[in-house]
Amino acid sequence: MEAVSTPRPIREAVRVAGTLAVAASLTALILRGFDQVPALVTGEPHGILRVRDIDAAERLLGGRLLVPTFFPQSIRWPPATVRVAGGPPRAVALEFTGRDGRWTRLVICQTLEAGGDFPSGLLAAGREWYSTPVTVAGERTTLESVRVGSEGSFDQITVHRTGRTILLRYDGPADELVRMAATLRSTRP
């Protein structure tokens, strides 16, 4: 019985196809590695960009942000950190320190589109240990007490304005948090 051999052109085509598949896989892995470099350099999660200020965030996101018109005296303006996620949904996190030089005392995180959760890495996860219903500017919502990693305990409220989801997380009196949530306005008229 005679052995059947594959014609040379077919063997050559299979070899070339295999080489191309290996090269494409290696290229994809290398590009994926390069994609992680900015996150390693900045210390921010993938897809999160730290910007200079609120104006830079608004230019990057293509929309105005909502911030409270009431700020407790204990909070330092402007935000110490402004972090942007290009989406979807487009979102921003503003972190404020205390006037006394303390760590983060207030975080305002908001999406610029309706629906959807905050992008991964933009807001540290909180573990709820207490909640109570509240009304903020006519909207029924929940005041939650949360534990955030090693950062400590905060109160937080989530409200909806002009098609956005806005979470305010505060290390301070709950009545001040409710008042801040009630006074959210555009950064510019």
Where in the chain are the domains? 1-43, 48-186
Q: By three-state DSSP, how is residue 39 classified?
A: helix
- Residue 37, pLDDT score: 47
The DSSP symbol for 36 reads H
Q: What is the pLDDT of residue 162?
A: 85
Q: Are 91 and 112 in contact (CB under 8 A)?
A: yes
Average pLDDT over residues 30-47: 54
Asked which of 6-10, 20-24, 41-45, 57-61 is least confident by mean pLDDT, the reply is 41-45
Helix (H, G, I), strand (E, B) or coil at 146: strand
Q: How does DSSP assign 55-101, residue by residue?
A: HHHHHHHTSPPEEES---TTBPSS-SEEEEE--SSPEEEEEEEBTTS
Sign of CA dihedral 117, 104, 134, 186: negative
pLDDT over 50 (residue 42): no
Mean pLDDT of 25-45: 54
Q: What is the pLDDT of residues 133-172, one digit of tens each?
A: 999 999 999 999 999 987 789 999 999 988 899 999 999 9
In the block, residue with structure tokens 């900045």: 42
Fold of 48-186: Phosphorylase Kinase; domain 1 (3.30.200)
What lies within 8 Å, CB to CB, of 153 at 6+ separation is 145, 146, 147, 171
- Residue 140 tokens read as 């029924």
Query: In the structure, what pLDDT confidence band is assigned to residue 33 with cuts at 50, 70 and 90?
Result: low
Residue 76 pLDDT greater than 80, yes or no: yes
pLDDT for the residue 55: 96
Helix (H, G, I), strand (E, B) or coil at 115: coil
Instruction: Write down the pTM of the prediction.
Output: 0.76
Residue 49, strand partner residues: 84
Share of the chain above pLDDT 70, in %: 83
